[in-house]
């Protein structure tokens, strides 16, 4: 009696490159998730499906809250709101966003709801917002949230197909997370900004250094540098900084160095940040001319 032939073990190379419903880990999972374009071509090239996942959790880590989150997500929010109905809910924002900038970038005050809460109350508010059919997207600042709670938010976003961003400190990077997409964003050190395709001259004024920590696909070793400020607004702020420097020199008869990066984005609020060696400006950095510039 002859022995039965031993079946040959199947390996990954035996599978066809494209199998419906099967994701190859060495390629971006483009067909498995509906996405919303981020508004940054450079970032979309590296995100599975070419944008933020819809109906899933996107986690953004940064050293300090209130620096880059609005600039990072506003282009996507504006596109989503132009195409779909629904409100944007911000849970426990660290700073009050600057309404005129949001309005100019496509997010009207009538479609924005801010919820002031802390701890368990903030988590509860985020989950309830995700279960509301009149909500298009949720932005939640949850520095102490646990993985099990994030999993609940992930499931809630999937039920009604909503955009969900959770912002956490960089210290949370070693912790496990159910997020489908995980990014770390920060302001790069002076002299490290590299101009990349699509970033333009605004890449260094100031820039967002984005590291993709987790995605459906191979790891991305190289960081991305995205514009940290609207290009025309950057020009306005640069001219405004030059005017203030000239006035200071005329008043005191001395030269002062230009403010590094001129401004940072704190939520949607562009504010002057006092630095050693240059004068502190008065009033709000975002005057009427700058508001008109952003809306142009």
Here the CATH number for the domain that contains residue 95 is 3.40.50.300
- Return d(Cα 118, Cα 135) in angstroms, integer: 21
Number of domains composing the chain: 2
Strand order in the sheet with 163-169: 112-115, 87-91, 135-141, 163-169, 56-62, 181-186, 207-214, 224-227
Compute CA 229 distance to the chain's CA centroid, rounded to the nearest angstrom.
Answer: 12
Query: Domain boundary at 141, 161, 182, which?
Result: 182
Cβ pair 150, 59 in contact under 8 A: yes
- Return d(Cα 132, Cα 204) in angstroms, integer: 39
Establish if 210 belongs to a structural domain. no
Establish if 273 belongs to a structural domain. yes
pTM of the model: 0.71
pLDDT at position 99, please? 81
Mean confidence (pLDDT) of the chain = 76
In the predicted structure, residue 230 carries a pLDDT above the cut 70? no
Same domain, yes or no: 54 and 162: yes
Same domain, yes or no: 69 and 171: yes
The pair of three-digit structure tokens given for residue 174, joined into one six-digit string:
């070693």
Q: Residue 240 sits in which domain range?
A: 231-295
Same domain, yes or no: 39 and 135: yes
pLDDT per residue as tens digits for the range 104-139: 888 888 899 999 999 999 999 999 999 999 999 999
- Summarize the confidence of residues 209-225 as an average pLDDT: 88
Measured CA to CA in angstroms, residue 59 lies from 25, 97, 154, 180, 277 at distances of 20, 20, 11, 8, 36
In the predicted structure, residue 21 carries a pLDDT above the cut 60? no
Q: How confident is the model at residue 242 (pLDDT cuts 50, 70, 90)?
A: confident
pLDDT at position 55, please? 94
Cβ pair 210, 193 in contact under 8 A: no
- Summarize the confidence of residues 64-71 as an average pLDDT: 86
Establish if 190 belongs to a structural domain. no
Same domain, yes or no: 69 and 139: yes
């Amino acid at each position: 009696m002859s022995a039965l032939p031993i079946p040959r073990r199947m390996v990954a190379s035996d599978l066809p490159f494209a199998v419906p419903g099967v994701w190859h880990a060495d390629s971006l999972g483009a067909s498995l998730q509906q996405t919303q374009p981020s508004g940054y071509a450079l970032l979309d090239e590296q995100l599975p499906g070419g944008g933020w996942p819809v109906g899933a959790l996107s986690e953004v880590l940064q050293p300090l809250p209130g620096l880059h989150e609005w600039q990072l997500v506003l282009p996507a929010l504006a596109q989503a709101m132009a195409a779909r109905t629904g409100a944007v809910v911000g849970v426990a924002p660290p700073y009050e966003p600057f309404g005129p900038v949001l309005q100019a970038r496509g997010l009207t005050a009538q479609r924005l709801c801010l919820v002031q809460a802390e701890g368990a109350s903030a988590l509860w508010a985020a989950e309830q917002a995700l279960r509301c059919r009149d909500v298009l997207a949720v932005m939640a600042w949850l520095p102490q949230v646990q993985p099990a709670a994030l999993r609940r938010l992930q499931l809630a976003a999937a039920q009604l197909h909503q955009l969900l961003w959770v912002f956490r400190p960089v210290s949370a990077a070693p912790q496990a997370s159910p997020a489908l997409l995980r990014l770390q964003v920060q302001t790069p050190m002076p002299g490290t900004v590299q101009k990349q395709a699509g970033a333009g001259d605004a890449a260094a004024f100031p820039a967002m250094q984005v590291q993709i920590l987790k995605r459906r696909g191979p790891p991305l070793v190289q960081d991305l540098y995205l514009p940290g400020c609207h290009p025309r607004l950057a020009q306005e702020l640069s001219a405004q900084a030059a005017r203030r420097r000239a006035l200071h020199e005329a008043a005191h008869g001395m030269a002062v160095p230009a403010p590094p990066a001129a401004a940072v984005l704190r939520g949607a609020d562009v504010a002057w940040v006092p630095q050693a060696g240059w004068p502190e400006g008065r009033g709000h950095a975002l005057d009427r001319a700058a508001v008109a510039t952003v809306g142009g």
